[in-house]
Structure 1
Amino acid sequence: MDKERFIDIYRQYIKREGSEDLLNYLLSSKSDFFEAPCSTRYHLSEPGGLCKHSLNVYDCLKAYMERPRVKDVYQLKASDESIAIVALLHDLCKVNVYKKTMRNMKNDQGQWVQVPSYNFDDDLPYGHGEKSVYIISGFMKLTREEAFAIRYHMGFSAGEETMNVGKAFQLYPLAFALSTADMEATYFLEN
């Protein structure tokens, strides 16, 4: 269901040159996007978690952009295409980096048992947001605001130079909106 919804939103809103090639990559055997977890142990550490998280961020970003204060007072505007791109694709850096494994965990009776888990193993250690921008840019062009939104979607929680994060949020309000949506999805909807 999540996979179908993702594809429907993607095809409805993302129309720019190269977008269909990117979607075909995500659907191919070269990508585990629709099967991958979103994390090793925390939010949506389950098969399909990455796709589910992307949809949650999309829903949160759409809702954020519709807030009267955001729309009317701050006049933050973004096209439906930009919203879909930054929300659905912000975590492409997580494609093919989670490897299935087992780990020890105590069960309800206090006994140690082996449970399925994931290890993080990145063959392209290019950073988080910048890696997503890099992957997307191999298929289609991003606007500067989209690139900055994806690059800084982790906000101040990523250990970035705080002046750079603040400046990105000031210059590109969609970056702040995406970061807010990502945090809402991660900490409220998924935890």
Structure 2
Amino acid sequence: MDNTENKELFLSTFRKNVQRPGAEKLLAWMETTDFFTAPASTRFHAAYEGGLLDHSMNVYNVLISKHFDPASDDIESFTIVSLLHDLCKAGFYKTELRNRKNDRGEWEKVPVYTVDDQFPYGHGEKSVYLIERFMRLRTEEAMAIRWHMGGFDESVKGGSFALAHAFEKYPLAVKLHLSDLEATYLHENRSE
């Protein structure tokens, strides 16, 4: 699916499932950023133009297909956490030229993505902060987005029990983390 079609699918899915006050203002703000064209990473997964959009849709698809129970789960919450969990990556990357050897062994300048974090607030917590500038999150949603990186989150490296407590108390946090892992490691191209 090309980037334009995927963006339309993102927007229609979001608008169909999310009716919360401020949602349209959030989408309008997102249109002023590079969210829909940014990569999802510099070189690990979906490291290409539009990769962040692809990754967000992949996480949504995994979360809904594997973890959503229409009898007990809220489609609005599942849509918000999956589509917006990496909002922190809007305005996060820039392109630089680096020297690399090509297939013929010759040096050439190639564009690469690098991190240019203008607002170093953390990963999940930055996404929560950006969303809440426009739209209120429920506690379970904020916890899911905050902790979606699981043990890969830098704040957990020192042995924090906050992650374990969040996972125990908020099943949506576990479901989002598992969906993010599956989308990243099983569904997305790891190299360009």
* Map of 1:121 onto structure 2: 116
Q: Determine which of 10, 15, 37 is the counterpart of 2:19.
A: 15
> Contact (CA 8 Å) 1:26, 1:33: kept in 2 or not?
yes
In 1, Cα distance between equivalents of 2:58 and 2:50: 12
TM-score (norm 1): 0.90
* Map of 2:41 onto structure 1: 39
Segment of structure 1 superposing worse, 124-133 or 39-48:
39-48
Q: 1:2 offset after TM fit, Å?
A: 1.0
Q: Determine which of 179, 184, 188 is the counterpart of 1:181.
A: 179
Segment of structure 1 superposing worse, 137-146 or 101-110:
101-110
Letter in 1 for 2:79: A
Letter in 1 for 2:67: M
Letter in 1 for 2:73: A
In 1, Cα distance between equivalents of 2:105 and 2:174: 43
Q: How many residues align?
A: 182
* Map of 1:4 onto structure 2: 8
* Map of 1:170 onto structure 2: 168
TM-score (norm 2): 0.90
Q: 1:184 offset after TM fit, Å?
A: 0.4
> Contact (CA 8 Å) 1:152, 1:175: kept in 2 or not?
yes
For residue 103 of structure 2, give the secondary structure of its aligned residue in structure 1: coil
In 2, Cα distance between equivalents of 1:106 and 1:57: 34
* Map of 1:95 onto structure 2: 90
Letter in 2 for 1:171: K
In 2, Cα distance between equivalents of 1:168 and 1:106: 46
Q: 1:162 offset after TM fit, Å?
A: 4.2
* Map of 1:85 onto structure 2: 80
Q: 1:80-134: per-residue Cα shift (whole Å, max 9, x none)? A: 1001000000001001011111122232233332221111111110000000000
> Contact (CA 8 Å) 1:156, 1:162: kept in 2 or not?
no
- What is the 5 A alignment of 1:124-143? 124-143=119-138
For residue 58 of structure 1, give the secondary structure of its aligned residue in structure 2: helix
> Contact (CA 8 Å) 1:78, 1:174: kept in 2 or not?
no
Q: Which runs of 4+ in 1 moved over 4 A?
A: none
Segment of structure 1 superposing worse, 16-25 or 114-123:
114-123
For residue 161 of structure 2, give the secondary structure of its aligned residue in structure 1: helix
In 1, Cα distance between equivalents of 2:117 and 2:168: 31
Letter in 2 for 1:98: Y
* Map of 2:54 onto structure 1: 52
Segment of structure 1 superposing worse, 84-93 or 39-48:
39-48
Q: 1:174 offset after TM fit, Å?
A: 0.4
